Structure 1
Amino acid sequence: MDHQHSDDTENKGSISLSGGVAMGTGVMIGAGIFALTGQIAQLAGPLFPLSFVAGAIVTSFSAYSYVKMSNAFPSSGGIAMILQKAYGPGAIAAAAALLMALSMVISESLVARTFATYVLRPFDITGGPLVPILAVGVILFAFLVNIAGSRSVGLLSLIMAVVKIGGIALFGIAALWASGFQFAAASEASPGFDITGFIASVALAILAFKGFTTITNSGGEITDPHRNVGRTIMISIAICVVVYLIVAFAVGSSLTIDQIVAAKDYSLAEAAAPALGNAGFYFTVVLAAVATASGVLASVFAVSRMLAMLTDMKMIPHRHFGMSGPIRSHTLVYTVVIASILAVFFDLTRIASLGAFFYLVMDMIVHWGVLRFMRKEVKANASIIILALVFDAIVLVAFTSMKLQSDPLIVLYAAVAITAVFAFQRIYLSRWTAQQPSEEH
Structure 2
Amino acid sequence: MLAESLIKKATRHQWIPAGVRRTIKDEDMNEPSRSRRISVNGAIALGVGSMVGAGIFALMGEAAAMAGSAVWLSFLVAGIIALLTGHSFAQLGVRYPSRGGVVEYLVKAYGPGLFSGGCSILFYIAQLIGMAMIALAFGKFSAKLLDLGEADLLLWERLLGSALIVTLTALNLVGAKFVSSAQRLVVLANLAVLALFTVALSMHADVARLALETWPAARPILGSLGLTFFAFTGFAVVSNAAGDMDNPTRDLPRAMYTTIAIVLALYVALALAVTATVDEHHLTASGATLLVVVARHNFGEIGFHILLLSAILATVTCLNGGFFGATSITYTLAENGQLPSRFGQKIGMSYRGLTISALLALLMVNFLTLTTVASLGSATSLLVYSLVNFGAWRLLKGGGWHRVAILLSIVACVLAIIVWGFDTFQTSPGSFSIFLSFLVIAFAAEGLLQRYHGRRILAQEHWESS
Q: How high is the TM-score relative to the length of structure 1?
A: 0.90
Deviation at 1:440, TM superposition (A): 4.0
Aligned to 1:173: 199
Out of 427, 431, 435, which is 1:406 matched to?
A: 427
Map Cα deviations across residues 281-301 of structure 1 (whole Å, 9 max, x no partner).
111101111122111121111
Map Cα deviations across residues 365-410 of structure 1 (whole Å, 9 max, x no partner).
11222223x1228999332222111111211111122212221111
Residue 125 (structure 2) pairs with residue 99 (structure 1): no
Out of 195, 203, 206, which is 2:226 matched to?
A: 203
Pick which of 125-134 and 277-286 moved more: 125-134
Q: Compared with structure 1, are the counterparts of its residues 330 and 183 closer, same or farther at alpha carbon in structure 2 (3 Å cutoff)?
A: farther
Cα distance between partner residues in 1 of 2:208 and 2:351? 49
Deviation at 1:19, TM superposition (A): 2.6
Out of 277, 282, 305, which is 2:300 matched to?
A: 277
Out of 23, 40, 45, which is 2:68 matched to?
A: 45
Aligned to 1:357: 379
Out of 360, 370, 374, which is 1:348 matched to?
A: 370
Aligned to 2:336: 313
Q: Compared with structure 1, are the counterparts of its residues 12 and 205 closer, same or farther at alpha carbon in structure 2 (3 Å cutoff)?
A: farther
Aligned to 1:252: 275
Q: Compared with structure 1, are the counterparts of its residues 4 and 176 closer, same or farther at alpha carbon in structure 2 (3 Å cutoff)?
A: same
Deviation at 1:152, TM superposition (A): 5.6
Map Cα deviations across residues 347-376 of structure 1 (whole Å, 9 max, x no partner).
11111111122111111111222223x122
Cα distance between partner residues in 1 of 2:99 and 2:67? 37
Aligned to 1:138: 164
Out of 187, 190, 196, which is 1:161 matched to?
A: 187
Cα distance between partner residues in 2 of 1:255 and 1:134? 29
* Contact kept in structure 2, 1:169 and 1:246, CA below 8 Å: no
* Contact kept in structure 2, 1:40 and 1:205, CA below 8 Å: yes
What amino acid maps onto 1:143 in structure 2?
A: T
Residue 389 (structure 2) pairs with residue 367 (structure 1): yes
Aligned to 2:138: 115
Aligned to 1:216: 239
Aligned to 1:32: 55
Question: How many matched pairs?
Answer: 436
Pick which of 260-269 and 378-387 moved more: 378-387
Pick which of 33-42 and 263-272 moved more: 33-42
Aligned to 2:149: 125
Deviation at 1:316, TM superposition (A): 2.5
Map Cα deviations across residues 152-198 of structure 1 (whole Å, 9 max, x no partner).
66533222211111111111212222x1x2147547994x4322222
Cα distance between partner residues in 2 of 1:382 and 1:95? 27
Aligned to 1:338: 360
Deviation at 1:261, TM superposition (A): 2.1
Out of 212, 216, 230, which is 2:253 matched to?
A: 230
Map Cα deviations across residues 213-250 of structure 1 (whole Å, 9 max, x no partner).
12233433445434333222222211211221232123
Cα distance between partner residues in 2 of 1:256 and 1:92? 48
Q: Compared with structure 1, are the counterparts of its residues 188 and 245 closer, same or farther at alpha carbon in structure 2 (3 Å cutoff)?
A: closer
Q: Compared with structure 1, are the counterparts of its residues 275 and 368 closer, same or farther at alpha carbon in structure 2 (3 Å cutoff)?
A: same
What amino acid maps onto 1:182 in structure 2?
A: D
**Uncovered stretches (5+) of structure 2, i.e. residues with no partner:** 6-23
What amino acid maps onto 1:351 in structure 2?
A: V
Cα distance between partner residues in 2 of 1:157 and 1:424? 34
Cα distance between partner residues in 2 of 1:330 and 1:83? 25
Aligned to 2:20: none
* Contact kept in structure 1, 2:49 and 2:184, CA below 8 Å: yes
Aligned to 1:62: 85
Q: How high is the TM-score relative to the length of structure 2?
A: 0.85
SS in 2 for 1:314: coil
SS in 1 for 2:338: coil
SS in 1 for 2:52: helix
Q: Compared with structure 1, are the counterparts of its residues 310 and 401 closer, same or farther at alpha carbon in structure 2 (3 Å cutoff)?
A: same
Residue 319 (structure 2) pairs with residue 296 (structure 1): yes
Map Cα deviations across residues 32-90 of structure 1 (whole Å, 9 max, x no partner).
31111122112222111121111111111111221111111111111111111111111
Aligned to 2:100: 77
**Uncovered stretches (5+) of structure 1, i.e. residues with no partner:** none
| Identical aligned residues as a percent | 25
Deviation at 1:202, TM superposition (A): 1.9
